[in-house]
Amino acid sequence: MRPFQVGLKLLGVLLVVSAGRAVADDFALRDGDTVVFLGDSITAARTYGKFIENYTLLRYPSRKVRFINAGFGGDTAEGGLKRLERDVFAHKATVLTVAFGMNDIGWGVYADEEHKRKYLDAVRGIVSACREKGVRVYLCSAAVTGADPAKSEESFLQKMCDEGMALSKSLGGEAIDVQRSMREIQKRVWAWNEKLKEANKVKDETKLDSLHAADGVHLNDLGQLAMAFAILKGLGAPAEVSSATLDFAEGKLLAADGCEVTHINREDGRLEFTRLDNGLPFNHGIFFALHYRFVPVPNELNRYLLNVKNLPAGKYDVSADDRAVGSFTAAQFREGVNIASTTANAWQPGGPWNAQADALVYLTNARSELEVANLLGRLHLGTSPLVGELATATQPTNARIEELQRLVAKPRAYRFVVQPAK
């Protein structure tokens, strides 16, 4: 190896730039928190809560945060108030998200002042009780319905939820306008569908994209992601995971934020370096990124950036721990590429962080299934001793799964290679 190359390698070993701002400190979920999702059937579907759980585990692996789903099909804010002691305070919750509204007005059948008053009285009761217990409460507006998003801004549901959010703030609670955030996403979906119909590419309108099941109220996976996105933004989730900027010509690190970059080596037209992140980007399995056509996760929650300056013109392959991440031009690298969810093979996850996130999905689902088993026991087995026995027996299993979740979500030092495309 020539002296110049040895010098570059030594420089790479010695030069470590760590983040000036590893992760945003304003994300609402803190180390030691117990988060409860209180709501109706949309919450009981246990989907948006799992997205939030996985995001938190990946982005903040050093924080131990517990998640509990307290959704109940057909419930209202009044019902949620009655369940507070059993489903929230008994778990020693420190954070509560509250998502009601649709059932409170009977899917629109009871959209009147009487039912709005009941909703607001229940909101007052929930927020006041949480404040007394020291629980940080976030009142969410109801999820958007399947109604025309250009018209639903003035709906009774939105206006009632607006009053509820204002009431929460006045009592010292917080508020997240899920409905307006989801409506912006819904507008993108509707515009997409209109283009497909104009181009005569869709004959069956049931095949068009939607946030909802056929009833126009319950959410499909896309809708659940849109709701999770709205809540995460409301909790202060940052856009950037981490970023690294390197100079190819000089084989050195220019900047790093949210990560450490070491062992830089430029040799034979390729650039190698080791990157250790403080947190990882959110991913959720093969083809999940198709949802990002409508839900702006990549730019607003998932910026995992790699910049390489002074690359000769051409196209370059990127790999991490021998996993192909994708191919990009020198111009793209100069501006910076977001490699959070990129892959060289649509049938395979891209970087190892993507594969780790995919594995995490299964562990989070397993933990959720344990919760459901206990819930069904409480609902249907009455006073049977099995209810208590099951709860006791599953506690260590749940704790072990939580350990496995943190193990899988823990960032590792990845060896990156940027080299001319084959």
Q: Domain holding 128: CATH number? A: 3.40.50.1110
* Domain-embedded: residue 214: yes
What pLDDT shows up at residue 202? 80
User: What pLDDT shows up at residue 25?
Assistant: 57
Q: Can you list the positions of beta strands (E) in 29-156? A: 34-39, 66-71, 95-99, 136-140
Position 41 scores a pLDDT of: 98
pLDDT of 23 strictly over 60: no
Q: Are strands 240-247 and 136-140 parallel, antiparallel or unpaired?
A: unpaired
The predicted-structure confidence for 200-222, as pLDDT tens digits, reads as follows 888 787 789 999 999 999 999 99
149 shares its domain with 293: no
Q: Are residues 48 and 188 in the same domain?
A: yes
Beta strands in 330-366 (DSSP E): 337-338
Q: Are residues 197 and 253 in the same domain?
A: no
Tell me the average pLDDT across 298-315.
97
> What torsion, rounded to 10 degrees, do the Cα atoms 183, 186, 188, 194 define?
-130
Residue 231, pLDDT score? 98
Q: Are residues 216 and 247 in the same domain?
A: no
| Pair of tokens at residue 238 | 């940052």
Residue 1 in this model has a pLDDT that exceeds 90: no
Using 50, 70 and 90 to split pLDDT, how confident is the model at 4?
very low
| pLDDT of 199 | 86
Q: What is the pTM of this model?
A: 0.92
Q: Which residue type occupies 122?
A: A
How far is Cα 394 from Cα 371, in angstroms, rounded to an integer?
9
Q: pLDDT tens digit string along 33-70?
A: 999 999 999 999 999 999 999 999 999 999 999 999 99
Look up residue 287 and give its two tokens.
């083809």
Give the residue-averaged pLDDT of 173-187: 98
Predicted local distance difference test score (pLDDT) of residue 21: 36
The answer on 343 and 272 residing in a single domain is: yes
Closest C-alpha among 262, 260, 261, 258 to residue 240: 258
Decide if 359 is inside a domain.
no
Smallest CA-to-CA distance from 218 within 45, 403, 417, 23 is with 45
Same domain, 305 and 221: no
Position 349 in a domain: yes
Could you give the number of structural domains in the chain? 2
Evaluate whether 185 touches 211 at the Cβ level (below 8 Å). Answer: yes
CB 325 within 8 A of CB 339: yes
In the listed set 203, 234, 265, which residue is the last one of a domain according to the structure? 234
Q: Which residue has the higher pLDDT, 204 or 279?
A: 279
Q: Is the pLDDT of residue 128 over 90?
A: yes
Query: Which single residue is written with the structure tokens 């979920």?
Result: 29
Token duo for residue 170: 């006045």
Residue 150 lies in a domain: yes
**Average pLDDT of the residues in 236-257:** 97
Within this chain, do residues 100 and 177 fall inside the same structural domain, yes or no?
yes
Quick one: angle between helices 178-198 and 221-234, nearest 10?
140
Does the pLDDT value for residue 346 go beyond 50?
yes
Q: Which of 140, 36, 33, 139 is nearest to 84 (CA)?
A: 36
Which CATH number fits the domain that encloses residue 267? 2.60.40
Considering the domain architecture, whether residues 254 and 342 belong to the same structural domain is answered as yes
Neighbours of 229 (CB within 10 A): 26
103 and 227 belong to one structural domain: yes
Domain match, 270 and 416 both: yes
Q: Is there a contact between 286 and 349 (Cβ–Cβ < 8 Å)?
A: yes
- Residues 321 and 415: their CA atoms lie apart, in Å, by 5
CA dist., res. 349 & res. 345, Å (int): 7
Band the pLDDT of 422: cuts 50, 70, 90.
Answer: confident
Mean pLDDT throughout 380-387? 92
Residue 318 has pLDDT above 60, yes or no: yes
Q: Same structural domain for residues 246 and 291?
A: yes
* Residue where a domain stops, chosen among 234, 261, 279: 234
Within a domain: 69? yes
Q: Among residues 186, 213, 234, which one ends one of the domains?
A: 234
Domain assignment present for residue 203? The answer is yes
| Confidence grade of residue 12 (pLDDT, cut at 50, 70, 90) | very low
Domain that holds residue 58: 34-234
Residue 298 lies in a domain: yes
Asked if 66 and 251 count as a contact pair (C-beta separation under 8 A), the reply is: no
Question: Is residue 387 assigned to a domain?
Answer: no
Q: Are residues 15 and 82 in the same domain?
A: no
> Which residues make Cβ contacts (< 8 Å) with residue 1, sequence separation at least 6?
9, 267
Q: What is the mean pLDDT of residues 4-13?
A: 37
Given a cut of 90, is residue 380 above it in pLDDT?
yes
Average pLDDT, the chain: 93
**Distance in angstroms (rounded) separating the CA atoms of residues 114 and 334:** 60
Residue written as tokens 């924080």?
A: 63
